[in-house]
Each structure stands twice: as C-alpha cells, then as structure tokens.
Structure 1
Amino acid sequence: MQLPRDDTNHPQAEAFRAFIRDAGFPCVGAKSALTKGQMRVLVARDITSAWDDMRIYPALMAFAARYRRQPDLFQSFAVVFEGPSDLDEEGFERHLWNRVQSLADKDAWLGHPWDGRVAPEPDSPHFSLSFAGEAFFVVGLHPNASRPARRFSSPALVFNLHAQFEQLREAGRYEKLRSSILQRDEALAGSVNPMLARHGELSEARQYSGRVVDEAWRCPFRPRATDTTASGTA
C-alpha cells in the first residue's frame, strides 16, 4: 500500500474547503472540523475506478489511528475525486458503494474487527461501516446531487466517525447540533431532507449517497462473511 501523501494544497482540496466554508453550507460539524484544522483531505483520480483505493485505505487507517490517539470532537476524512462530473444520482450511488466495498474488503483481508458498537448488516437500523475497528458514517457529494448541500463540483466521500456522534450525545450536544444542521439545510434547499433519520431508527446506508430512495431500495453492500458462513455450515 502507498503511504498517505499530503494533498493540502491540491486545487481540488482547496475547492472542497471553500465549499465547506461557504456561508450557506449547512453542516456546522464540518465547518468546525475545518476551522480546527481537523479535516483531512485526500485527492483521488476517479470514483469509477479502483486506481487509488490503495492510497485511500491506508489514509483512512491513519485517520482512525490519529483519532484513537486523540479523540477530539469534529474530525473528518474527505476523499475528493477529480471526476467524473457527469454521473447522475444512481450512477454516483453505484460507484460510491463500489469504492466503499473495495475499502471494506481490504479491511477484512487485513483481519480488522468490525466495530462492535455498530452492526455490519446494511439493512440493520444499527448499521455503520467499519474500518480499522472504528465505525464510520459516509456522506457522498457530487455535481448532480438533488440536495444543494450535497452538490459539489466533483465526486467526494466524507468519512465521519460514529464515536463522535456518541460523544455529542453523552455531552448533551447532539440534538442541538442536529437541529441547527436541519434548519440550515432546509433554508438552503427549501425543504426538509426526507432521507434523514437518527441512528437506530433506519439504516444509515440509505443516507450515504444523498439520493432519495423508497422502501424497496436495498443496499448493495456485502458485509464480510462470519466464521459460520465462511466454513460453509450456514
């Protein structure tokens, strides 16, 4: 695997930071991460290709390790892809899950345990992704997103730590922060995001791409096999 490189001054990274800083951008958590210097940005080539997966995965592992050493609030890891810019919402969703699946397969191959605080089954209301033993919620952005808050100039995946949501809940700050984000998002879009739900109510997998999906939608993610299924005794 390639070691993580510093993409701080890459034009795509600068464009992404400017997008987050914009006054209308609703996620105050992302703004805080940026202000605190705790938003890591990696620039990759193409979301439809596995070309940079071997760069993305070690950078994600390094991010998780840094968080465990210093679990400060408002840390995010963003992968900004240079293209393509012409994906529709279904196409972006498909490639988002392809990239996530590739990263999860590498995590499984290295033997990292699934974070026990969340479920690996994508249809579970307690589902989250897990990399290097840390649970993550993913926010997808791309040029043709229907929600303005998800409409960035190129595809991007932002990995947010599940543990930070729990920290906010324990500190009594979660509901206030969530309410602020929802109000700002409604002001920007003119409507409430119909896909939002609290962890434990519905599978968060439905929210990752930003596309509005109905009850018939099924997440394409394949969780790693358990010991039972791997042995063929299921």
Structure 2
Amino acid sequence: MFSWKHEAQERLESLLFDHVSDRGFPCVGAKAALARGTLSVLACDRIDSGWDDVRIHDALLRFAESYKREPEMYRSFAVVFDGPGDLDEEAFERALWDRVQSLSDKDVWRGQNYDYRVSADPDNPHFSLSFGGEAFFIVGLHPNASRPARRFDRPALVFNLHDQFERLRAENKYEGMREKILTRDEALAGSRNPMLARHGELSEARQYSGRAVDGGWRAPFKYRGAEQ
C-alpha cells in the first residue's frame, strides 16, 4: 500500500506540474505557485469514491493552518485522482459535489467554523466553501472538459484560498490578473469562458466543475453546520 501511494504521489504530482508549466496553460496564479514551490499536490484513488476523503480533509486542515501562520501569496492545494478517466461533464460535476459535501460534513464533524467572510449558501453571490476556517474556491479539471483550460489527463480539484483574491483586490492587482487569465484562455479556446464571474456578482459554485450551466442550475450542496 505504501509503495503504491508513493508511486502515485510522484506520478500524479509530476503530471500536474508538467500541465501547469505548459506554455498554453492560462492560469498565471497556478504558474506563480508552481514557480514558488507553493503548489501542493495530494494523490488519491478515485474522484467518484469517498475512500480518500479523510486524507483530503486532513490535508486541507494542514494547508489552512499553514496559511494562517504564514499568509504567503500564490499558494494552491491540488487533489489529483488516478481516475476514472471516462467521466463526462455531468458525471464529473456530480463526483465533484459528492466530494465537496463529504469534505464539508467532515469539517462540521471536526468542529471547524465556517469562514465568516463568505456565505455557506451556494445560491448566495458571496458563497465560498470553507475548510479549517478558511474560504476556498475550487477549480475542477478532468479529461473530458469542454473548455481546454479545464482539460487534464486525470480528474483533479484545485483548492484556491479566497483570502488571496481579496488581498489582490486590496492591492489593485486582481483585475489585471483576471484579464490576463481571460486573454490567455481566449487564445487557448478561441473564446472567453462565459461562466467566469467576479465574487459577489453570481455564486462561484457555478464555476467549480467547468461545465456551462444555465440560470436555473443549483449546486447540490448543503452546509450542515451553523454559519458564523
């Protein structure tokens, strides 16, 4: 078991690092994290199974605590799953929210407070997920994503700290970075991603899986703790 985990960690971590370092990859924030050595990766088995959920939540708590101690910019935590590789966009979206619900339930069970700076209601324009008291925005990647920027050889969930977006806004750097990402995404796909919205305009839950959804879509998520 240990040898398999070690092999999978090295293999999947290398796969993600190569993907992010590719010249065409549009997210400059992820590239900055990779360059600084602050892109953390956890290799797991299957995104459609809860087998590794405790390991993932353990790692999220460590990541959140580390950021609280040293709030360094451009830090991301990525969970890369070894499979399955044949999920279509709707199946990937279901698996993503199954993992999110399970991780959120573990956060409640372990007595973690929801980040007071965001809403726990997925229909609220100020919604973000919260683990270990820190708000997170998720970027889902998988082999069958329709947007090239979301296409990756394995299913993956990249957890980005909401606080970092707020710090970029406070430093008047957010809009410039956002425009750079949109421009690079347009160069890759031939069009800008219509699902991207600023925090506070529409719920960010609509963006997590990368699938284009209509106005009637609702996130299959319910926070089961007491919102602070």
Report SS of the residue matched to 2:34: helix
1:58-137 pair list within 5 angstroms = 58-137=58-137
Q: Quick check: 1:87–1:144 contact (8 Å CA) kept in 2?
A: yes
Aligned to 1:15: 15
- For residues 6 and 171 of structure 2, what CA distance do their matches in structure 1 show? 33
> Structure 2: 5+ residue runs without aligned partners?
none
In the TM superposition, residue 185 of structure 1 has moved relative to its aligned partner by 0.3
Tell me the alpha carbon deviations over residues 82-109 of structure 1, each in whole angstroms, 9 at most, x when there is no partner: 0000000000000000001100000001
Sort the Cα spacing of 1:12 and 1:192 in 2 relative to 1 into closer, same or farther, 3 A: same
Is the aligned partner of 1:162 residue 2:162? yes
What one-letter code is carried by the residue in structure 2 that aligns with 1:188?
L
Report SS of the residue matched to 2:127: coil
Is the aligned partner of 1:214 residue 2:214? yes
Q: Quick check: 1:122–1:128 contact (8 Å CA) kept in 2?
A: yes
Q: Percent identity?
A: 62
Report SS of the residue matched to 1:158: strand
- For residues 14 and 144 of structure 2, what CA distance do their matches in structure 1 show? 20
Tell me the alpha carbon deviations over residues 117-166 of structure 1, each in whole angstroms, 9 at most, x when there is no partner: 00000000000000010000000000000000100001000000000001
Q: Quick check: 1:81–1:155 contact (8 Å CA) kept in 2?
A: yes
Structure 1: which 4+ aligned runs deviate by more than 4 Å? Answer: 5-9
Q: Quick check: 1:7–1:42 contact (8 Å CA) kept in 2?
A: no
Q: Please provide the CA RMSD for this pair.
A: 1.4
Aligned to 1:205: 205
Aligned to 1:183: 183
Tell me the alpha carbon deviations over residues 1-41 of structure 1, each in whole angstroms, 9 at most, x when there is no partner: xxxx9889611110110000000000000000000000000
Report SS of the residue matched to 1:157: strand
- For residues 223 and 145 of structure 2, what CA distance do their matches in structure 1 show? 27
Q: Quick check: 1:7–1:41 contact (8 Å CA) kept in 2?
A: no
Report SS of the residue matched to 1:20: helix
- For residues 106 and 96 of structure 1, what CA distance do their matches in structure 2 show? 16
> Structure 1: 5+ residue runs without aligned partners?
228-234
Using structure 1 for the length normalisation, give the TM-score: 0.93
Aligned to 1:193: 193
- For residues 64 and 7 of structure 2, what CA distance do their matches in structure 1 show? 18
- For residues 103 and 7 of structure 2, what CA distance do their matches in structure 1 show? 20
What one-letter code is carried by the residue in structure 1 that aligns with 2:141?
L
Report SS of the residue matched to 1:40: strand
Report SS of the residue matched to 1:10: helix
Is the aligned partner of 1:148 residue 2:140? no
Q: Quick check: 2:114–2:134 contact (8 Å CA) kept in 1?
A: yes
Using structure 2 for the length normalisation, give the TM-score: 0.95
What one-letter code is carried by the residue in structure 2 that aligns with 1:129?
L
What one-letter code is carried by the residue in structure 1 that aligns with 2:39?
M
Q: Quick check: 2:9–2:42 contact (8 Å CA) kept in 1?
A: no
Aligned to 1:27: 27
- For residues 35 and 8 of structure 1, what CA distance do their matches in structure 2 show? 22
In the TM superposition, residue 111 of structure 1 has moved relative to its aligned partner by 1.2
Deviates more, 1:89-98 or 1:9-18: 9-18
Q: Quick check: 1:6–1:42 contact (8 Å CA) kept in 2?
A: no
